């Protein structure tokens, strides 16, 4: 559930992350897990399983938002958590130890775009939250999942229909509409580098041999006044967006963005009391 955001290429299928970028992504992923926990739990509770799964694979697990939600939902299950990022997997293992769950989790470092996959057994449930659009060849990944899934098993694909927004439409007061202009820039950039973001997964799933049982759309709308972590989430998100968008922003928009990101300044976004996390998830369970 994490959601896949531009700031969180987070479920890491790229094998060349820099350590500092890994750390920045990990912080976003941990905030994802904290803020969106209720929504993630609602998806795990919706899964149409006749019997609880014993073996689960979390593809592109990041720092473990989905892994721990699944372990909580299915107390007899074991999860193989797969990600390209060594740093993310280390963080996930540390969380598992702290929660006393290390015996129920196995981490596997792998680039899922590789032709040969690691041995993931024959899972009853494969979970891919905000990870499929990062794949260079998602059709290959879908066929691979179909090949490893146990007979009668379930594959749950969760993807964001849009990246999170935080500010009211008329904010910031000195540059209204700034956030939408930022996302317009990142949308163009990601269309080049992640062409499958926002894809219609239905035909690809069907082509890979899956039958789509159901779809669900979840609208996320969480008021920041009830959760101080949302200020940190907004700050970290916009900091990461700035790195990509800055060259294409007008000087006025860049200056307004920097005022929002100035942690010592009066306009810092983390201190606003009118923030909201707004996004939409689309979920399929073929």
pLDDT reading at 5 higher than 50: no
Amino acid 198: pLDDT: 55
- Mean of the pLDDT values across residues 99-123? 93
The 10s digit of each residue's pLDDT in 164-213 is 889 998 899 999 999 999 988 887 876 666 555 656 777 888 888 888 87
Burial (Cβ within 10 Å: 0-12, 13-18, ≥19) of residue 198: middle
Rounded Cα gap, residues 38 and 246, in angstroms? 33
> Is a pLDDT exceeding 60 seen at residue 160?
yes
The enclosing H or E element of 224 equals: none
pTM: 0.80
Q: pLDDT band at 70, cuts 50/70/90?
A: very high
Q: How many helices (H) and strands (E) does the chain have?
A: 9, 7
* Predicted local distance difference test score (pLDDT) of residue 253: 95
Residue 277 or 104, more confident:
104
Helices 19-35 and 37-46, axial angle in degrees (round to 10): 70
Show Cβ contacts of residue 275 under 8 Å, excluding neighbours closer than 6 positions.
166, 167, 223, 224, 225, 230, 231, 234, 269
Rounded Cα gap, residues 205 and 221, in angstroms: 29
Are 145 and 126 in contact by the 8 Å Cβ rule? The answer is yes
């Amino acid at each position: 559930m994490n959601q896949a955001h531009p700031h969180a290429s987070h479920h890491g299928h790229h094998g060349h992350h820099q350590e500092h970028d890994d750390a920045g992504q990990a912080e976003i992923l941990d905030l994802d897990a904290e803020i969106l926990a209720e929504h993630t739990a609602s998806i795990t509770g919706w899964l149409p399983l006749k019997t609880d799964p014993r073996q689960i694979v979390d593809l592109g697990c990041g720092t473990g938002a989905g892994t721990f939600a699944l372990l909580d939902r299915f107390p007899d299950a074991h999860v193989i958590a797969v990600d390209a990022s060594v740093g993310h997997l280390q963080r996930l293992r540390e969380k598992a130890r702290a929660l006393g769950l290390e015996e129920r989790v196995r981490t596997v470092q792998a680039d899922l775009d590789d032709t040969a996959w690691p041995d993931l057994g024959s899972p009853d449930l494969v979970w891919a939250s905000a990870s499929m659009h990062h794949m260079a060849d998602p059709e290959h990944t879908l066929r691979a999942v179909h090949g490893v899934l146990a007979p009668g098993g379930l594959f749950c694909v969760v993807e964001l229909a849009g990246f999170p927004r935080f500010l009211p439409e008329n904010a910031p007061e000195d540059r209204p509409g700034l956030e939408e202009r930022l996302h317009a820039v990142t949308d163009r950039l990601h269309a080049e580098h992640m062409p499958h973001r926002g894809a219609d997964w239905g035909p690809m799933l069907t082509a890979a041999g899956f039958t789509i049982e159901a779809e669900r759309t979840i609208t996320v709308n969480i008021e920041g006044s009830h959760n101080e972590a949302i200020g940190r989430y907004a700050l970290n998100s916009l900091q990461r967006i700035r790195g990509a968008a800055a060259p294409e922003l007008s000087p006025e928009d860049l200056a307004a963005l920097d005022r929002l990101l100035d942690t010592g300044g009066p306009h810092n976004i983390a201190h606003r009391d009118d923030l909201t996390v707004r996004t939409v998830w689309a979920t399929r369970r073929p």
